[in-house]
Structure 1
Amino acid sequence: MSYAFPPGGLPDQSVNPEGSAVFTTAYAVLPAITQRDIVTSLLPGWTGMRMWLLARPLSGFAETFSQYAVELQAGGGSDTPEVDTGAQSVVFVANGQVVLTIGATHHDLTAGGYAYIPAGVAWTIWNRSGAVAQFHWVRKRYVPAEGVAHPEAFVTHDDAVPPTVMPDCDGVWATTRFADPSDLRHDMHVNIVTFLPGGRIPFAETHVMEHGLYVLQGTAKYLLNTDWVDVGPGDFMWLRAFCPQACVATGDQPFRYLLYKDVNRHAVL
């Protein structure tokens, strides 16, 4: 498997600046070519890091989550990565190696490594290797529910979770569900969705969940509201609630994306 990540750098002066980035009232597309050195951010409490802040709550748009692509130099990391005790996190490693410590337990994560970290749990993350490490980080404020216990931390890997094939699709559409969809302790899911070439979402999904979709591999035509856009590795799509969406996988390799959605809670009134 390969896992895309922002390319950094800077296009040369021959590149046409009129690109395919889009921000509308219903969705946004941040193509990989826009994820360059000059749009990175830094955070207090970190060493040897930079990140691309791809999504953050915006009033009137998507409001439940933030999504970062974090790059750590050799020796980089943080003992205090999360400053909001109400925020839960998912970390998904794209390249390199990191040491993730949750409570007192150390985990060595490589590309494809996945970790869920509950709100209020102390954790650290460091790149102890001699090469750059890159990971995706999704954050959401946890919403407790009466009579429902808080979820526990867990660490796994893309290869360790069998994809669930969607019904009536001849095996071309599957979802790697890292958290059990019936587990009401979880109020967000961060999954990997896979389409084999030619596979599709055969109707325009329209639902209350907000989405962040980071394309990890392959290409597709993706329907966002009323527009079909071409997407590929490293492209990020950001959808507000009820934005119609569908896709058709193109090319000759699987189309895979990391998908965030909010789940299992009442609508806020």
Structure 2
Amino acid sequence: MTTQLWRVESLMRTLSARRLRTRVGRDELRRVRRGVYADQPCDDEDELRALLLCLPEGAMLARQTAARRHGFGVLRDDLVHVQLPSTVPKPRLPGLVVHRSVLPTRPVVIRGLPCVPAARCAVDLARTTRRLDALPVLDCALRSGVVTRDDLSAEVVVHRALRGVRQARELVPLADGRAECRQESQLRLVLLDGRLPPPEPQVWVHDEYGFARHRIDLGYRERRIGIEYDGLSHLDRDALRYDRDRVNWLDAQGWRMRYFTDRDLYRRPTHIVATIRAALS
């Protein structure tokens, strides 16, 4: 059953202040946030709907918050990001980040929530976040299927006069929907920025019968060099056994594997570039 939400002004047309307090005391109404009440417990979507009721007309979810609704929310952020027309006063609410709308935007509605369109949301993030986080956004946007590369390229043109658009323009041609995680995209960007040949994401290695046996995060198929990010998922004992069998099988097929961790990715990217350059040469 859909949760019903009301502004207090609407409730006060039919209820006295005393009656409103009574209904709240009996849990017939629940205060979601200041000035907004609901008829039952609220989930995250209801909380967002309640927030939008407190904002001026034309407000829509944007940036990381909209990206999660579109299916490419790879950036973690507990704040709520909204976009507002530049002509309305900026509200000050806890946990809210307001972005001014410079370009005309027609919202798309996702599960009852108005959101900035997917391509605009992706390019907004690609031009305003740090470079290492921007490519994972574009990769995931393509992987989700809600945008195409042509959509992103066209949106970059629309943003041509805005801050950070140069970064977005450089990264859109590098985006690849085959990437399966944020760190994989970041690892690929480190190699590209190190002026190495573009590695292929998600390389399948087949056995002698032609069956796909194992998949590698990134690879140079012709040179049989594989590159992988080692995260927490590899620390489980069963996963470790599987990884050892996998590494031995790939080694027997002539693949030279190189593994990197978060320390390599975020603290010494030059080590990654030097290691792969040496392997390629």
Q: TM-score, normalised by structure 1?
A: 0.21
Which has a greater percent of helix?
2
Q: Which has the higher contact order (CA 8 A, sep 6+)?
A: 1
Q: Higher Cα Rg: structure 1 or 2?
A: 2
Which has a greater percent of strand?
1
